[in-house]
A = this chain, B = another copy of it.
Amino acid sequence: MTQSTSAASEKSRRKQQQRSIVTQQKLLEAALEAFSENGFKGTSTRDIAERAGVHHPLITYHFKNKDQLWQAAADKVFRDFRRSLAASLEQHQHECPKQRFASLIRAYVYYARSQPALHKVMVQEASYPNPRLDWLIETHLRPFFQATFELIEELQALGIAPPGNPRLLFNMIRLVSGGLLALGNELRQSSDIDTNDDKTLDDITDMIVAVFLPGEAKAPA
């Protein structure tokens, strides 16, 4: 993804310096923030550089151009996000299906708070057809969704999740899990809901579980 990494081709190669990595990270986070606030079109590379506290030509240096930077930034969040969920699944692999999925939702909700850009960027790009949306779907959404559809189907077979189109059910769950956190600014003012409060996140998790997984879990042996 980054220039330096892929530059290992000709003769002289020297390993990437630490400060370079730091700069890239700063740029990626700033890009994420900016893109999630103003969309791809509404964001200028200069704005990103400013947020990162970096001179704007460094974007060209590190990421070639705006598109590449967007992709690198999106890739970072979604990769992180999926890793985070996978970790939760593995960590709770010996618990009953309902508990496992509840933990997954919890992980989703907490990740969404730590990185609300996850959901915002998705909505931004989904607002009209464009190559970035296609990339996002093929690279991250489809693989992730596919695996989760099956989880949902299991839960339905066990009578834990309600019947109906599992894809629809899944999308509802992901929407509330990520969407509420993305609306943080609004909810505080419109509904007296403080998404910074851990208590709120737990309430959200509990409610999602109560609503979307109403079936009884098997009593633990």
| Residues of A bordering B, CB below 8 Å | 36-43, 120, 122-129, 133-134, 137, 141-142, 145, 162, 164-165, 167-172, 175-176, 179-180, 182-187, 189-193, 200, 203-204, 206-208, 210-212, 214
Residues on B with C-beta less than 8 A from A179 are 123, 175, 179
Please give the distance in Å from A141's CB to the nearest CB on chain B.
5
Partner of A176, one of B122, B123, B129, B175: B175
Please tell me which one of the listed residues B164, B190, B192, B211 contacts residue A203 in the complex, with CB atoms under 8 A apart. B164
Let me know if A185 and B39 touch, CB within 8 A. no
Look across to chain B and name the residue whose beta carbon is closest to the beta carbon of A126. Answer: B186
Chain B residues contacting A142 (CB-CB under 8 Å) are: 190
Measured CB to CB, the closest approach of chain B to A169, in angstroms, equals 7
Asked if A183 meets B171 with Cβ closer than 8 Å, knowing A38-B39, A120-B123, A189-B134, the reply is: yes
Q: Are A38 and B41 in contact (CB under 8 A)?
A: yes
Contacts of A214 in B (CB 8 A): 214
* Nearest CB of B to A31, in Å: 15
Q: A38-B127, A162-B207, A211-B212 are in contact. List 14 more A-B contacts (CB 8 A).
A: A42-B42, A125-B186, A127-B182, A137-B189, A145-B191, A164-B206, A165-B203, A167-B192, A167-B193, A168-B204, A171-B187, A175-B179, A176-B176, A211-B211
Partner of A193, one of B137, B168, B206, B211: B168
Cα of A65 to Cα of B189 in the assembled complex, Å: 27
Given A164-B206, A176-B172, A207-B169, A123 contacting B123 (CB threshold 8 A): yes
For A211, the chain B residues whose CB sits under 8 A away are: 162, 172, 211-212
The one of B120, B134, B170 that contacts A191, using a Cβ cutoff of 8 Å: B170
State whether A171 and B185 are in contact (beta carbons under 8 Å apart), knowing that A164-B203, A176-B176, A206-B164 are contacts in the complex. Answer: no
